[in-house]
Structure 1
Amino acid sequence: MWQSILQKEGNMRFRVKKDELQHTISSIEALAPKKTTQTILSHILLETSENELIMTASDMESSAQVRMPAEDTEKGGLIVSAKKLSEIAHRIQAEEIIFDLSEEDPEESIDLDEDRFMLNISGIDKKAARFTLSAGAPSNFPHFEMDPSMEMWQADVATIHEMIRKTVYAISQEDNRYIYNGLCFFGEGNKLTVVGTDGRRLSAITREFSTNIEVKDAEGEPIVVHSKAVKQLERLISDASKLGIGLSGRNVFFETDNAKLSSRLIEGKFPDYKKILPTQTNMEFEISREAFLDAISQVMVMCEPPSYLVKLSTEADTLHLAAHTPEYGSASVELPISSIGDPLMTAFNATFMTDLLNSLDCETVKLQFVDPERPIVIRDTSDPDFVSIVMPFRI
């Protein structure tokens, strides 16, 4: 467990490489909201220990903590503006950056705490610009804690990354259906299922792991992790080699080689996606994923937001796609397919379909239909444990 210092101790000092600092800041700064009624949350907590810098960001719902190597460290802790620290790290012209603390009060400071300091920032190259950044004591900053007795299930990083990539785009961006604002995780035995939906589209994927991964709440129900935490997890595991997942109360925890993430779970019951899947289909066809994606992208030129409506019809072994806008005109394209069943005409949201197709890496997809008004089922022909649904438009 990492302990927070939560006070300014001595003359805090450290030296870090610019590229490592940029990478670390970019991995957590999204959790420091730029607009918030709690000004302290727009800051990042910096803590130093022996040859190490620890950064923490929090929006109260989720918190992330990342470690990175540092040299010439003197132990201490303070908070600084996440936005300004990021801008300085990107613009300073130096391979290595030195941070050291002075006790001079700035002429103008943000009213965060009675204790104010100035953090001096300079490049090891004397030609680089020098900065002074207002800093404060982190006594009121959210404290990152993990229960040391909590069980952590080990998961393959690449597999989790794939599961998120193939489902996260389906998460709702609207606040009126809060349960859809996150990814659903359900682990039982050595199988984990991840589902994302906004009520108009859905993607689900199941994978097996070498060990048990019991990711479910105390009642044995799936957990729902907020989209902001999911996207933060994506950033943290992008260069990780290991990942642990744990649950404590209504919070989920993730731990990688050098980072930790906690997030409050979304309350509510996630719908059972299996009940939405049609038990039988009356028409289906297989098509090249890239060819289908390219065809949709072409006719989308004549789609109108927010529906981005594209009409789909089949005839013998030919797929027809068409879009029309009264103001600009129309577009159409035909593709060869291998179909089974009666001809069909329906319509779908083009962005929903392209989001799905872009998330996959297979050569061929299968589309299945019951009738023009029932969900369109899309499958990866090489992966029986992945399924996606797009709700059609009535035409």
Structure 2
Amino acid sequence: MELTFEKEDLSKAIQILQGVTTGRNTLPILSNILIRAGNGQIEVAATDLEVGIRLKVLGQIQEEGEITVSARKIGEIVRELPDEDIRLSTVGNDRVQILCGTGQYKIIGLPSDEFPPIPSVDGNPFTIDGEELRSMIQKTEFAASTDETRYYLNGLFFNLTPDATQIVATDGRRLSVATHDSLEPKPDEPISVIVPLKAVREVVKTFAESPTIQISLKENQILFADDNATLVSRLVDGEYPKYEKIIPDNNDIQVVVEREKLIGPIRRVSLLANQNTHSVRLDLENDEMRVSARTPELGEGQETLDIGSEEVVLEIAFDAHYLRDALSHIDAHEVVMEFKDSLSATIIKPVEDDSHLCLIMPMRLDT
């Protein structure tokens, strides 16, 4: 095999694949990327048996062939090379030679025979707007659980219905739901799957510039694809909580606030919050909100900001991290916060926009 690449094209592909190969793999082949040239095109691929990615790379083929090579080592070498054409070839004994400028490097590879195959999208896949899919993932993935004992929460819930597409994440204390209707064709019946966090994060990276993305389901796998890339992931086997039932519809206390003007006080005041609970307190009285925190060992702090509301009096506390995460992932100048009382879940969403909703459970108020 003998190939020639522009540095930028090869480097970009390797960077995407390294997100899959950075885990602790028991099989040496899973730490490698596959480089394959045939039928007039060059493909590179990587997998950890949970997530797999295959990419087409621009380049010139002098001689077809295939080999696997350490993702980490080829990535380190290519990153340090000058901005000149890179010539890559196999030179016997499963060695890969890299030539660039006056530099010559040889890496020990492995035959491609044992590299796991990555399936392709076939049949009648769904198509979704790429920008909308990336946005929905970014608006929700922060709320997913990282507690492995609750494995069914370690991913995003894709709820595809004839009416809308929803992506949902929760860790049991907070919830984020993003909704859109750009999926085509509409499914005849609802389809619900849990996609691992690692996979959805790689979707955002792999299809960062894709205008449209195809989605296909195969047994216990989900595939995402465009003209140049395919990502396949195992699905999480579990039953997702009935999240619709925990979204309240009787939170009658509504407060409108500028998002950035609330994030700042929360960030600053939380510096003096209890380091174990991260609790910050919101005191609402008429058209003002006081954000405060205090810890006997550290001190106390508070800030006041104007809010748009009717006559309202409420005292409530939240984990500052949860509150800041929700506000940071809502794409709006103003948000509406919907409260019931100091013990019930609070809803935060953009003003006059139901396409994104965050829910946070409050904490016990310190007296």
TM-score range, shorter chain: over 0.9
Kept after mapping to 1: 8 A contact 2:256/2:307: yes
Kept after mapping to 2: 8 A contact 1:50/1:73: no
Match of 1:65 among 51, 54, 61: 54
**Counterparts of 1:261 and 1:222 in 2: how far apart (Å)?**
19
SS of match in other structure, 2:94: strand
Kept after mapping to 2: 8 A contact 1:78/1:136: yes
SS of match in other structure, 1:120: strand
Kept after mapping to 2: 8 A contact 1:33/1:41: no
Post-superposition CA distance 1:128-169 (Å, at most 9, x none): x32111111021111112363x32111111111111111111
Post-superposition CA distance 1:167-214 (Å, at most 9, x none): 111111110111111111111225211111111111101111273343
More divergent stretch after superposition (244-253 vs 41-50): 41-50
- Answering whether residue 27 of structure 2 is matched by residue 38 of structure 1, we say yes
Kept after mapping to 2: 8 A contact 1:52/1:73: no
Match of 2:114 in 1: 140
Match of 1:283 in 2: 253
> Is there any run of 5+ residues in structure 1 with no aligned partner, and where?
1-11, 104-115
**Counterparts of 1:374 and 1:120 in 2: how far apart (Å)?**
63
Post-superposition CA distance 1:243-289 (Å, at most 9, x none): 10011111111111200011111111111221101120242211001
241 and 215 in structure 1: CA distance in 2 versus 1, 3 angstrom threshold: farther
**Residue 385 of structure 1: how far off its partner (Å):** 2.4
Match of 1:189 in 2: 162
Kept after mapping to 1: 8 A contact 2:330/2:356: no
50 and 356 in structure 1: CA distance in 2 versus 1, 3 angstrom threshold: same
Post-superposition CA distance 1:285-311 (Å, at most 9, x none): 110011111111111222344532111
Kept after mapping to 2: 8 A contact 1:299/1:310: yes
* Superposed counterparts of 1:80-99, under 5 Å: 80-99=69-88
Amino acid at match of 1:334: T
Match of 1:379 in 2: 349
Amino acid at match of 1:118: R
* Superposed counterparts of 1:1-395, under 5 Å: 12-49=1-38, 51-103=40-92, 116-123=93-100, 125-126=101-102, 129-146=103-120, 148=122, 150-189=123-162, 191-209=164-182, 211-214=184-187, 220-340=190-310, 342-395=312-365
Kept after mapping to 1: 8 A contact 2:21/2:32: yes
Kept after mapping to 2: 8 A contact 1:215/1:223: no
Kept after mapping to 2: 8 A contact 1:205/1:386: yes
**Counterparts of 1:215 and 1:161 in 2: how far apart (Å)?**
24
More divergent stretch after superposition (13-22 vs 33-42): 33-42
More divergent stretch after superposition (93-102 vs 75-84): 93-102
Amino acid at match of 1:152: P
Amino acid at match of 1:380: P
Kept after mapping to 1: 8 A contact 2:3/2:89: yes
**Counterparts of 1:172 and 1:73 in 2: how far apart (Å)?**
48
Match of 1:3 in 2: none
TM-score scaled to structure 2, two decimals?
0.94
117 and 305 in structure 1: CA distance in 2 versus 1, 3 angstrom threshold: farther
- Give me the identity figure in percent: 27
> Is there any run of 5+ residues in structure 2 with no aligned partner, and where?
none
The count of residues paired between Structure 1 and Structure 2 equals: 365
Amino acid at match of 1:122: L
**Counterparts of 2:234 and 2:280 in 1: how far apart (Å)?**
39
**Counterparts of 2:303 and 2:188 in 1: how far apart (Å)?**
45
**Counterparts of 1:236 and 1:320 in 2: how far apart (Å)?**
43
**Residue 314 of structure 1: how far off its partner (Å):** 0.8
Kept after mapping to 1: 8 A contact 2:131/2:210: no
TM-score scaled to structure 1, two decimals?
0.88
Pairwise CA RMSD: 1.8
Post-superposition CA distance 1:212-258 (Å, at most 9, x none): 34397xxx451110000000101112111221001111111111120
SS of match in other structure, 2:268: helix
**Residue 358 of structure 1: how far off its partner (Å):** 1.7
**Counterparts of 2:64 and 2:359 in 1: how far apart (Å)?**
53
SS of match in other structure, 1:278: coil
**Counterparts of 2:7 and 2:308 in 1: how far apart (Å)?**
54
**Residue 322 of structure 1: how far off its partner (Å):** 1.0
Post-superposition CA distance 1:27-51 (Å, at most 9, x none): 1211113422222211111111255
SS of match in other structure, 1:195: strand
Amino acid at match of 1:267: D
